[in-house]
Amino acid sequence: MKDTKAINKDLILRERLALQRTVLANQSTFLAFLRTAMYFLIAGLSLRNLLKVENSFLIEMALFIISFVILLLGTLNYFKHKKSISENKKHIGDYQLEYYE
């Protein structure tokens, strides 16, 4: 009987560590979205100064809109996965009392 409790404790620890890695991966993905959005924003800001193009205003607006859309999608993706991760934490709690004994 003692072996099964040890196995349950190991499984709980593994599940907790897996969820922590998933949280870190979610944060890393959000930062990648943020970085990409900032690249498009900076491209839009610097376009007029670097290139002498006739329709530079339209291209700048397109880059600003793309930047905003990427930032919005990244934020929505982050919170959707954060909610999913927090829902999965509830399933680990079934063995929580045995783990702390």
Burial class (CB in 10 A: 0-12, 13-18, 19+), 39: middle
> What per-residue confidence (pLDDT) applies to 6?
53
Give the pLDDT of residue 13.
76
Segment 67-92 mean pLDDT: 89
pLDDT tens for each residue of 7-19 = 566 767 788 888 8
Percent of the chain with pLDDT over 90: 46
Which residue, among 66, 76, 20, has the nearest Cα to 39 in the 3D structure?
Answer: 66
Q: Is the pLDDT of residue 72 over 90?
A: yes
pLDDT in tens, 30-64: 999 999 999 999 998 888 778 777 778 888 999 99
